[in-house]
């Protein structure tokens, strides 16, 4: 099985137009010859433990008025509205009152990349980001392991 590695966001990623000092950015990569949409569909087919975490997130964050069901374009990647799509990259996400975030899935040169950008707006956004970080890392790495298995 291929190893998921921490990586730099590829230079051609649309995430670069968002990235500023102080923002959270991470990126993982795994060798794969899957086409972009195929890899993206695997990534959003969350296992049961992730679906449970998402349900818990909904229960905990709804009283604070955080977005659980983003509105906007009907073209979506799971729960995330797609902002742009090219032959190499799908960029999805939305802006909320506590933070803005985007995910990038790229398939390029025999690699699949899964990157995340987050810009907290306030203390609540920073607290939320810190609280979900351990789960975020597990979810991203698990998603790319599933990609590598195909």
Q: 128: part of which helix (H) or strand (E)?
A: helix 123-148
The residue with greater pLDDT, 125 or 36, is 36
pLDDT at 98: 86
% of the chain exceeding 70 in pLDDT: 84
Alpha-carbon separation of residue 78 from 5, 21, 60, 94 (angstroms): 24, 29, 20, 13
Residue 14 has a pLDDT of: 96
CB atoms within 10 A of CB 115: 25
| Mean of all residue pLDDT scores within the chain | 87
Model confidence at 78, pLDDT cuts 50, 70, 90, reads confident
Overall CATH class of domain 5-148 = alpha beta
- State CA 37 to chain mean position distance: 14
Q: What angle do CA 126, 130, 135 make, to 5 degrees?
A: 140
How many alpha carbons fall within 13 Å on the CB side of residue 78? 20
Quick check: 95 pLDDT over 60?
Answer: yes
What is the pLDDT at residue 71? 54
User: pTM score, two decimals?
Assistant: 0.85
pLDDT in tens, 23-69: 999 999 999 999 999 999 999 888 776 667 677 666 665 666 655 55
Q: Which residue ranges make up each domain of the chain?
A: 5-148
């Amino acid at each position: 099985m291929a190893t998921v590695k921490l990586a730099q966001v590829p230079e051609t990623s649309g995430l670069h137009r968002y990235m500023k000092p102080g923002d959270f950015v991470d990126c993982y990569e795994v060798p794969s010859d899957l086409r972009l949409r195929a890899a993206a569909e695997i990534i959003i087919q969350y296992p049961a433990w992730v679906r449970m975490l998402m349900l818990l997130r909904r229960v905990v964050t709804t009283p604070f008025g955080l977005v659980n069901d983003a509105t906007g374009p009907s073209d979506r990647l799971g729960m995330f509205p797609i902002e742009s799509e090219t032959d190499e990259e799908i960029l999805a996400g939305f802006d909320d009152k506590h933070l803005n975030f985007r995910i990038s899935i790229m398939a390029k040169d025999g690699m699949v990349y899964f990157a995340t950008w987050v810009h907290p707006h306030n203390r609540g956004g920073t607290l939320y980001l810190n609280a979900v970080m351990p789960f975020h890392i597990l979810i991203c790495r698990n998603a790319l392991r599933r990609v590598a298995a195909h």
